Amino acid sequence: MAQVLLAILIASLLAVAHSSIPSACFNLQPFYIELSSKVPPMLQKIQETRVPNKGEYLDVGRTAGIDLQTLEQLRNQWLHEFNWETEQAYLNMFKHFTAEIEGLTIHFIHEKSGYPDAIPLILNHGWPGSFLEFLPIAKNLTERTNASNGRAVSYDVIIPSIPGFGFSSMPPANWTTVDTARIYSILMTKVLGYDTFAVHGTDWGSSISYILYDAYNATARAAHFSFLPLFALTPSQLLDINITLDTDLERFEGERYVEWSNTGEGFFAEQSTKPNTLGFALQDHPMGQLAWIGEKLIDWSDPRAGTAPSVLTTNEILRSVSLYYLTGTFTSSLYIYHQNPHGFGTEYIKARTDAPMLFSAFKYNVAFWPQKLVAKVGNLVYYRNHDFGGHFSGVDNPPALLQDLREIGAYFK
């Protein structure tokens, strides 16, 4: 933890050094997605890939990973129903930009509300997520509505792609979430010119957002999380610090975390220690990426995915995997695990800020933090536990995430 705090301190000093850089130096440019030429070769590879036959694998359901029937169904849909041109046209309905920050090209969506009192809100994804997981709520957040205290609120929405993901360039060696938080601070204050802003984070995005909340506390003036950059505690560990799980929903979430810790964390070890081996094996293999990423998108989500309010359909899975493959960022996205060995901590220490913090739990997320535990790391003013949704709440339960994010407006100053 001391190493993380030192890195945050260094990041704060570097942010001061960047404060005098004029915004014109960042080469802010509109961006248009055009990946169509890469689609036929991808489909050809999918067509030519031989999946195992039933005599070559054990049919034990999903206990051993993605099952063959699911993989074959997704493959057939990818080849015969999925249309990248349609998806690309939809994606280009959003306002995309790139900026050059510290030698990196940073891609982001910037949807403005048009209201002068709109709250700037940066939404930070993780792995195997992308900017895609926030699209169902992006334009809704720009609309003017009332928070629970009656305050009219709207947002200017900023959705960046983490360096090495999507259309953002790959960062250099030893790049950490502290570095990403620093350049996101520059993006918000220097490139886009906001004096203050709010943050949301999930998965690795929770690490980036928490660093902004803690180390850039003069400008990051509210934070919402659906995940924490801290290892969750098992029910027995919670009892040791006098925190009990009092409802059926909490007890279910606690046991789900125990199960996931025992059966679902193998990817973490592989990506943390041998990202090149995995990356080289799957970089030019769309079906391999579908198996690896698709398993997480399915298993980390509510089993009711694809039924309202979820929009995490099989088409959404194929769109996500297609983005990874067509942008050639599967390998580079894995490095965030290798370069952040302390990215998820174990010490629950209060952030150095009085800014309000909000938290949303979702029933089928892979980890669970009860309210009393979340309160140990920030100025917790709002906590809600949803009985529908999972790890990718922006697509798994967009109305709930939208409602909770709007509550930032009740506390933002």
The string of pLDDT tens digits covering residues 301-340 is 999 999 999 999 999 999 999 999 999 999 999 999 999 9
Whole-prediction pTM: 0.94
Q: Residue 12 pLDDT more than 70?
A: no
348 is an active site residue: no
pLDDT, tens only, 124-154: 999 999 999 999 999 999 999 999 999 999 9
Q: Residue 399 pLDDT more than 90?
A: yes
Q: How confident is the model at residue 53 (pLDDT cuts 50, 70, 90)?
A: confident
pLDDT of 63: 84
Greater confidence (311 vs 2) lies with 311
pLDDT of 19: 42
Q: Residue 22 pLDDT more than 90?
A: no
pLDDT of 196: 98
pLDDT of 16: 44
pLDDT of 79: 98
- 405 token code pair: 């994010």
Q: How confident is the model at residue 278 (pLDDT cuts 50, 70, 90)?
A: very high
User: What does the pLDDT average to over 64-79?
Assistant: 95
203 is an active site residue: yes
pLDDT of 85: 98
Q: Which of 179, 203, 214, 396 is catalytic?
A: 203
User: What does the pLDDT average to over 5-29?
Assistant: 57
216 is an active site residue: no
Secondary structure string (H, E, C) spanning the chain: CHHHHHHHHHHHHHHHHHCCCCHHHHCCEEECCCCHHHHHHHHHHHHHCCCCCCCCCCCCHHHHCCCHHHHHHHHHHHHHCCCHHHHHHHHCCCCEEEEEECCEEEEEEEECCCCCCCEEEEEECCCCCCHHHHHHHHHHHHCCEECCCCCEECEEEEEECCCCCCCCCCCCCCCCHHHHHHHHHHHHHHHCCCCCEEEEECCHHHHHHHHHHHHCCCCEEEEEECCCCECCCCHHHHHHCCCCCCCHHHHHHHHHHHHHHHHCCHHHHHHHHCHHHHHHHHCCCHHHHHHHHHHHHHHCCCCCCCCCCCCCCHHHHHHHHHHHHHCCCHHHHHHHHHCCCCCCECCCCCCCCCCEEEEEEEEECCCCCCHHHHCCCCEEEEEEEEEEEECCHHHHCHHHHHHHHHHHHHCCC
Q: Residue 347 pLDDT more than 90?
A: yes
pLDDT of 57: 86
Q: Which of 324, 337, 364, 411 is catalytic?
A: 337
pLDDT of 4: 44
User: What does the pLDDT average to over 14-32?
Assistant: 69
Greater confidence (242 vs 19) lies with 242
CB contact at 8 A, 282 and 45 = no
- How high is the mean pLDDT of the chain? 94
User: What does the pLDDT average to over 166-195?
Assistant: 98
pLDDT of 23: 60
Q: Residue 40 pLDDT more than 70?
A: yes
Q: Residue 10 pLDDT more than 90?
A: no
User: What does the pLDDT average to over 363-373?
Assistant: 98
Q: Residue 299 pLDDT more than 50?
A: yes
Q: Which of 110, 200, 386, 391 is catalytic?
A: 391
Q: Residue 228 pLDDT more than 50?
A: yes
Q: Residue 14 pLDDT more than 50?
A: no
User: What does the pLDDT average to over 356-380?
Assistant: 98
- The vertex-127 CA angle with 124 and 130, nearest 5°, equals 55
Q: Distances from the Cα of 369 to the Cαs of 233, 261, 275, 348, 377, in angstroms?
A: 8, 14, 28, 11, 11
Greater confidence (366 vs 5) lies with 366
Q: How confident is the model at residue 62 (pLDDT cuts 50, 70, 90)?
A: confident
Q: Give me the percent of the chain exceeding a pLDDT of 70.
A: 94
Q: Residue 61 pLDDT more than 60?
A: yes
Q: How confident is the model at residue 187 (pLDDT cuts 50, 70, 90)?
A: very high
Q: Distances from the Cα of 330 to the Cαs of 129, 150, 167, 281, 373, in angstroms?
A: 11, 44, 12, 10, 34
Nearest partner of 331 among 282, 292, 268, judged by Cα:
282
Q: Give me the percent of the chain exceeding a pLDDT of 90.
A: 90
